């Protein structure tokens, strides 16, 4: 069987805000694909499969994610262990981590025509900060350096399923992903459910601004992957207009459907 490698069609690219001075947007010929979703929603599982599929189809790929910059990820980890920073300082630490990966990985890779797969992006960072009461316009301005991705997928998984997956994977819930730093409940399990509910509320709000393609993350790994592939093919063909808040996707999770 002969495979024809799709040469990504170019689309005008833009930044969400002021961007980064000196970056020639028209030279960024690669594609930026973001997978968002709560802790344990299946992002890594899907991205690993997408990388295999894309590489096998002749596309060079690069992966980025939160807390992965060589510049500050270790220091960020240490700061979190000690729980020593204010929300704003921690937020700026994450923004630094993002900016470092943006300048050193994302932009060079896009310039070289790579497919960049982002395991979370500015939306998670904004949602976390919004839950902690930070000012939305301040955050929008801060993350105005981010290029608008070619597609943003949100893996929507019910909170109960998230608990199961996280416990099966790590045997424990994460302190930060349970919102324990903001004192929502004494018990980490209760706190996780409250915190994930608050995160979902913020994501629903961000959806109205940025537009995400919602995927039912409760489906099987294969079903979700098939959906992602077909949507990414459209991106490569240039048929996808990028994330749009006008989409009629719902972030409501239908608990009744899951019970069946």
Ligand X SMILES: Nc1ncnc2c1ncn2[C@@H]1O[C@H](COP(=O)(O)OP(=O)(O)OP(=O)(O)O)[C@@H](O)[C@H]1O
Instruction: Give the binding site for ligand X (CB under 6 A).
Output: 37, 39-45, 165, 168-169, 220-221, 224
> Among 6, 16, 29, 44, which residue interacts with Mg ion (rule: CB under 5 A)?
44
Which region, judged by CB under 5 A, interacts with Mg ion, from 7-15, 38-46, 83-91, 105-113? 38-46
Minimum distance from residue 159 beta carbon to ligand X (Å):
14
Smallest distance from the beta carbon of 41 to ligand X, in angstroms? 4
Residue 179 has, within 13 A of its CA and on its CB side, a CA count of 24
**In the complex, least distance from residue 45 CB atom to Mg ion, rounded to whole angstroms:** 8
Please identify, among the stretches 44-52, 91-99, 194-202, 213-221, the one whose residues bind Mg ion according to the rule CB under 5 A: 44-52
Residue among 122 and 224 whose Cβ is closer to ligand X? 224
Q: CB of residue 211 vs ligand X: minimum separation in angstroms?
A: 21
Nearer to Mg ion, 170 or 255 (CB): 170
Return the structure tokens found at 224. Answer: 């979700």
Task: Report what 224 binds from Mg ion, ligand X, none; CB cut-off 5-8 Å by kind.
Answer: ligand X
If contact means CB under 5 to 8 A according to the sort of partner, which of ligand X, Mg ion, none does residue 168 touch?
ligand X
User: From the CB of 44, what's the least distance to Mg ion, in Å?
Assistant: 3
Residue 111: burial class (beta carbons within 10 Å; 0-12, 13-18, 19+): middle
Toward ligand X, which CB reaches closer, 180 or 236?
A: 180
Site for Mg ion, rule CB under 5 A: 44
């Amino acid at each position: 069987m002969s495979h024809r490698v799709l040469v990504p069609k170019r689309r005008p690219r833009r930044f969400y805000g002021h961007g980064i001075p000196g970056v020639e947007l028209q030279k960024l010929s690669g594609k930026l694909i973001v997978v968002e979703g709560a802790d344990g929603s299946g992002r890594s599982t899907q991205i690993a499969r997408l990388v295999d599929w894309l590489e096998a189809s002749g596309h060079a790929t690069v992966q980025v994610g939160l807390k992965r910059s060589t510049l500050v990820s270790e220091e960020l980890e240490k700061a979190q262990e000690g729980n020593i920073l204010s929300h704003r300082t921690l937020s700026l630490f994450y923004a630094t981590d993002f900016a470092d990966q943006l300048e050193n990985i994302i932009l060079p890779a896009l310039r070289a025509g790579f497919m960049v797969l982002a395991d979370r992006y500015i939306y998670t960072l904004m949602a976390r900060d919004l839950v902690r009461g930070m000012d939305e316009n301040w955050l929008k301005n801060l993350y105005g350096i981010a290029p608008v991705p070619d597609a943003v997928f949100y893996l929507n998984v019910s909170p109960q399923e998230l608990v199961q997956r996280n416990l099966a994977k790590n045997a424990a819930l994460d302190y930060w992903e349970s919102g324990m730093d903001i004192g929502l409940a004494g018990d980490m399990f209760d706190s996780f459910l409250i915190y994930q509910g608050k995160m979902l509320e913020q994501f629903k709000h961000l959806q109205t601004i940025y537009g995400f393609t919602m995927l039912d993350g409760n489906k099987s790994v294969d079903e979700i992957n098939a959906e992602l592939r077909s949507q990414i093919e459209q991106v490569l063909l240039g048929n996808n207009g990028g994330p749009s808040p006008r989409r009629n996707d719902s972030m409501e999770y239908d608990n009744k459907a899951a019970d069946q």
